[in-house]
Amino acid sequence: MLYLLIVGCEIAFWAVLLGALLCRYAWGRRRVSTALLLTLPAIDLLLFAASTVDLARGAVPTSAHGLAAVYLGVSIAFGGQLVSWADGRLAHRFGGPPPNRPPRTGREHAAHERRMWLRHLLAWGLGSCLLLLDTAIARGPRHASPLVGVIASWGVVLAIDFIWSFSYTLFPRGTRRTHGQG
């Protein structure tokens, strides 16, 4: 049942985001758009709350409970950036300037990758705290091994992302040469 709620919340997130941006650009309803955008974190908070209530009622912890915490951590850490990304693209579609793209080469690219990793670290930290809260609710780590497993698995992904992101600091991408340049 929780997996269905996760799918429903994911669909709701994207539908509300698209609706908010259409209100802003297609229908000129800026206040309605802002109100809808402010509800986006509430969708993931509702999912996490439902997951936590499920555990408090005695449900056996599963990866679905862990995923609810991951969603909320990622939503907090990356939500504003995701909204800005979608906003820039839809604004351009309705006649606005082209969206800014992250740098692709040099020190600026390396700095961008480091900032993205720090956001990932923030998401992991928030999600892990929420997972530890759920672990306490689920009568401790022995009963909540799927939740602890989510923290560990996500930690491995975070470590790989660290190596990837910081590799650009050590080995920055250079600008490509075209034919005819020496």
Q: Which residues have CB under 8 Å from 112's CB, separation 6+?
A: 102, 103
On whether residue 44 sits in a domain, the answer given is: yes
Percent over 70 (pLDDT), the chain: 96
In a domain, residue 182? The reply is: no
Instruction: Establish if 57 belongs to a structural domain.
Output: yes
Does 87 reside within a domain? yes
Tell me if 178 is assigned to some domain: no
In a domain, 60, yes or no: yes
Q: Is the pLDDT confidence value at 140 over 80?
A: no
In a domain, 122, yes or no: yes
Predicted TM-score of the model (pTM): 0.87
* Under 8 Å between Cβ of 61 and 147: yes
- Count of domains in the chain? 1
For 75, 85, 105, the CA distances from 108, given in Å and listed in that order, are 25, 18, 7
Range with the poorest average pLDDT among 36-45, 116-125, 172-181: 172-181
Q: Which residue range is the domain that position 144 belongs to?
A: 2-170
